[in-house]
Every structure is written in structure tokens, then in C-alpha cells.
Amino acid sequence: MSTADLLAEIFQRLFSAYGPQGWWPGETPFEVCIGAILTQNTAWANVEKAIKNLKSAGVFDPDSLLGLGQSELAALIRPAGYFNQKARKIRDFLVWFRENGGFEAMRKAETDDLRESLLSVRGIGPETADSILLYALGRPIFVVDAYTARVLARHEIISSDADYDSIQSLFHDNLPRDLQMFNEFHALFVRLGKERCRKREPLCENCPIETLPGYPPVP
């Protein structure tokens, strides 16, 4: 079975098992950007509390957030954890956002250029940048996350120390550049991981991809 067929098979099984995930769980492109930073190594339920705090305080827009001091911002996003670090990251992103013409300019930019520019912001790494590109701007980019790497490594499709770009290339080089498919695929990996794939446990039995053609069963 080719890599292309294997990845397509994984997608089909996850989609059949779980259906469309309706991502991103936020209402606006701006909310996607802030949520993408807040959710770094953090449970989404805690991110929701932080976003709710910002909305309740009436400051959930770029200018208002920039008007807050870093410590005030940190206090509001406290439930999301790492609040001092994330307050600075949000500020740095918003400064970049303002100085680079906001969404209007972002929508005009080439995907590769925009990705590089996003990565230049302190606190935005590859997963955060790609989440913004895919879910805020609709670019057909595959987002790699810890669940994806863990699941693929357990199936011995990649090595356990594969880096972000190599994993992303596996998807980019072997699947059609389909926006809706990439949107669902990442969300489905997260769904699978949340439900069944804790760090210290193998994939559970009756998992949609417990066995895959040509690959060893997960222990």
C-alpha cells in the first residue's frame, strides 16, 4: 500500500467513525488566532474560559487587547495556563498584526511568505502558524500536532523523533491540497487523541485505526 493510499485510508476511517468536526471552534478569524496561541500545550476547556473572560471584559479585539497592560492581560487569560508567557505572545502577535496590515493584508499574501512572517513572531511556532493559516485564512495546509505524531509513530509510519516539517511533508506530498480535507483531518486526529490516545496508553481496542494494512498492530 502506498503512503498516499495509507493516509487516505486513515482519513476515511476517522471520518467514517467521527464525522465532520466543524473546526475551528471559534467564531471569527481573530478568535482563531488568539485561541491558537492560548491552546499551546493546554486543554481547550481552559482556553474557552480565558476567551470568555476577555469577551466579558469587553476587550476581545486587537486595539483593546493592546491597550491592556501585560499583567492585566495575563490576569484575564489566567485559566489558560502559562499566562505570563501567553500574555507576551498575544501582545507580540498583535503588534505584528497591526504593523502588517491585519487580515486584509494577510489575505493577499502568498501562503509561504505569510507562514514565514508568522514564524518570525516570538511565540508563534509551526503549529500555531499553520493553525492560523488553515483555520483563520483558509489556506490548504496540514497542521501537525502532538496527537498526529504520536499516532503515526505508534503505527511505525514515522519515527518517534520525526520533526514537524518532515511530518507535514508526508501529508503535503501524498495528499491532494484540499482545504476541507486538511481542515477535517487535523481535527479528526485531535478528536481521536482526546478520546483514545493518552500519552502513556496505546491506542485502545476498537479504535478506528487500530490496525492498518501493511503496518504492525498497535501494542
Binding site for DNA (CB under 7 A): 23-25, 35-36, 39-46, 49, 78-79, 81-86, 121-129, 131, 135, 145-147, 161, 163-164, 190, 193-194, 198-200
Angle at 185 between CA 43 and CA 148, to 5 degrees: 55
Closest approach of DNA to the CB of residue 200, in Å: 3
Closest approach of DNA to the CB of residue 1, in Å: 28
Closest approach of DNA to the CB of residue 83, in Å: 5
Nearer to DNA (CB atom), residue 2 or residue 41: 41
Closest approach of DNA to the CB of residue 169, in Å: 15
Place of cell 466579558: 56
Among candidates 147, 136, 199, 201, which has minimal Cα distance to 10? 147
Nearer to DNA (CB atom), residue 12 or residue 84: 84
Burial of 14 (0-12, 13-18, 19+ CB in 10 A): buried
Contact 199, 32 (CB under 8 A): no
Among candidates 20, 27, 24, 58, which has minimal Cα distance to 39? 24
